Copies of this chain bind each other. A is one copy, B any other.
Amino acid sequence: MRMTGLCVVLGVLLLGFVAAEGNVTDASTTGATVASTTGSLDGPLKWGIVAAGKISNDWAAALASLPKEEHQMVAIAARDAGRAADFAKTFNIPKSYGSYAELAKDPNVNIVYIGTIHPTHYEIVKMMLENDKHVLCEKPMTLWVNHTEELVQLAREKKKFLQEAVWSRFFPAYRTLRQVLKEEKIGEMKMVSAVMGIAMPNTPRLHRKHLGGGALMDLGSYTIQLAVAVFGNEMPETIKAVATLNNESVDTNLAMILQWKSGGIAQLSASSLVLMNNDAMIFGTNGTIKLPGHFWCPDEIVYKRTTEGLQTLKHEKREFPKIDHKTNFKHGAGMVYQAQEVHRSISNGFLESPLMTHDESILFAKIEQEVKKQIGVTYQDLYKDQKYCGENCNV
């Protein structure tokens, strides 16, 4: 597909109704205007992987299980060249580098996955876009709104695909969620309640300021994306947040209330100290939707109608795709869905997925920035000598 201007918009609208895969249709349900066009995709996505940590392992495991006509891993970079080489061996990747800059210069790479810690995202995404790579970057995309805005702007200028890796959005259960919400059989949505807690008291990434630690950015961001999926892509009218901070002023226990103009309220909490049930519930005037267990990577969705007696209308439970490699994170195999969506989006010439748009990434960053302000968490120390965070240094 190769189109520009108005033609593309019409093409996207049309795709909204005919797409066999169903996902593109979702553009109309999210109300997203999908920026285009990345130009055509000749051959497979040729992935460069940035960082050789746990999450990169899971991403590579997902890619390795997909058809070679669509996804190939061509390079891996880590700060430690030895680790990069080991990773390359594990996943049979032809090239490994000891620096991200080398990977950025590799002409064979056409898309980069970034699995580093949060504070590094901004610089690495920028470098990859400037080197004309499409980018999939782990969430949160950056630590500040203006950084995210700048990267989105750059991606659009460079006509490269950019996505924050909110993998939740691509799970079949989320597709069902959007469908149920669209059908409006559960009436008007009034409340979202979601908790995400994983006991990781000794995991430095979660608790150290210089690593971008904090329950909000790591866990709470998943609860925010769910609320936005339900109540729509606009800034809440009211945000109220409370947290407990550790001795580095990093949030470990967090509760947030978001209220939208529609009246919808999201009651969200996150903790890096305690294991929670990790359910998400959506309550409407005629019914409820539950994403049980790990709501951010669910294998199940239950939709009940609460009028005329409690009645289960939908209960989907499904196996994830079989993949050969072991994953570190719960339901890691579900990353396959995200890979498929990235391929579909780029094939369609999109600069963003209609299921996880640039505007949403900016919105998440805005909500997170307001929450950080209220709970007294700032990452300014990370950059105080670098003139890096600009006016966001105080947030």
Binding site for B on A (CB under 8 A): 190-191, 193, 195, 197, 199, 201, 238, 240-244, 253-257, 259, 263, 265-269, 271, 273-277, 281, 283-285, 288, 290, 306-307, 310
Q: How far is the CA of A283 from the CA of B257 in the complex (A)?
A: 19
Q: Could you tell me if B242 and A241 are in contact, using CB atoms closer than 8 angstroms?
A: no
Please pick, from B243, B256, B276, the residue contacting A281 in the complex, using a CB distance under 8 A. B276
Q: How far is the CA of A349 from the CA of B285 in the complex (A)?
A: 48
Please give 19 more A-B residue pairs, beta carbons under 8 A apart, in addition to A244-B263, A257-B257.
A190-B253, A190-B273, A190-B274, A191-B195, A191-B255, A191-B276, A193-B193, A195-B281, A197-B283, A199-B285, A240-B242, A242-B259, A255-B266, A256-B257, A265-B269, A274-B283, A274-B284, A274-B285, A275-B306
Q: Which residues of B contact A201 (CB under 8 A)?
A: 285
A to B CB contacts below 8 Å, 7 in the list: A190-B274, A240-B241, A253-B265, A273-B285, A274-B285, A274-B288, A275-B288
Q: Could you tell me if A253 and B195 are in contact, using CB atoms closer than 8 angstroms?
A: no
Closest partner residue, chain B, to A310 (CB atom): B275
Q: Do A267 and B265 form a contact, CB below 8 Å, given A240-B257, A274-B285?
A: no
Q: Which residues of B contact A240 (CB under 8 A)?
A: 240-242, 257
Q: Which residues of B contact A290 (CB under 8 A)?
A: 277
Q: How far is the CA of A284 from the CA of B276 in the complex (A)?
A: 9
Q: Which residues of B contact A269 (CB under 8 A)?
A: 191, 193, 265, 267
Q: How far is the CA of A69 from the CA of B393 in the complex (A)?
A: 72
Please pick, from B242, B244, B256, B265, the residue contacting A244 in the complex, using a CB distance under 8 A. B265
Q: How far is the CA of A6 from the CA of B8 in the complex (A)?
A: 86
Min Cβ gap A372→B in Å is 15
Q: Could you tell me if A195 and B197 are in contact, using CB atoms closer than 8 angstroms?
A: no
Q: Which residues of B contact A268 (CB under 8 A)?
A: 267
Q: Which residues of B contact A257 (CB under 8 A)?
A: 240-242, 255-257
Closest partner residue, chain B, to A374 (CB atom): B240
Min Cβ gap A223→B in Å is 11
Min Cβ gap A116→B in Å is 29
Q: How far is the CA of A244 from the CA of B290 in the complex (A)?
A: 23
Closest partner residue, chain B, to A283 (CB atom): B274
Of A238, A259, A283, A285, chain B has the most CB atoms within 10 Å of the CB of A283
Min Cβ gap A385→B in Å is 32
Q: How far is the CA of A256 from the CA of B241 in the complex (A)?
A: 10
Q: Which residues of B contact A190 (CB under 8 A)?
A: 244, 253, 271, 273-274
Closest partner residue, chain B, to A237 (CB atom): B242
Q: Could you tell me if B238 and A242 are in contact, using CB atoms closer than 8 angstroms?
A: yes
Q: Which residues of B contact A199 (CB under 8 A)?
A: 285, 306-307
Q: How far is the CA of A266 from the CA of B267 in the complex (A)?
A: 11
For the complex of A and B, the 4 pairs showing the least CB-CB separation, nearest first, are A240-B240, A274-B283, A244-B263, A275-B306
Q: Could you tell me if A191 and B267 are in contact, using CB atoms closer than 8 angstroms?
A: no
Q: How far is the CA of A243 from the CA of B238 in the complex (A)?
A: 10
Q: Could you tell me if A263 and B274 are in contact, using CB atoms closer than 8 angstroms?
A: no
Q: Do A267 and B281 form a contact, CB below 8 Å, given A191-B276, A274-B190, A306-B275?
A: no
Q: Could you tell me if B277 and A281 are in contact, using CB atoms closer than 8 angstroms?
A: yes
Of A238, A254, A277, chain B has the most CB atoms within 10 Å of the CB of A277
Closest partner residue, chain B, to A263 (CB atom): B244
Q: Could you tell me if A265 and B259 are in contact, using CB atoms closer than 8 angstroms?
A: no
Closest partner residue, chain B, to A239 (CB atom): B242
Q: Which residues of B contact A243 (CB under 8 A)?
A: 265
Q: How far is the CA of A273 from the CA of B274 in the complex (A)?
A: 31
Q: Could you tell me if A267 and B195 are in contact, using CB atoms closer than 8 angstroms?
A: yes
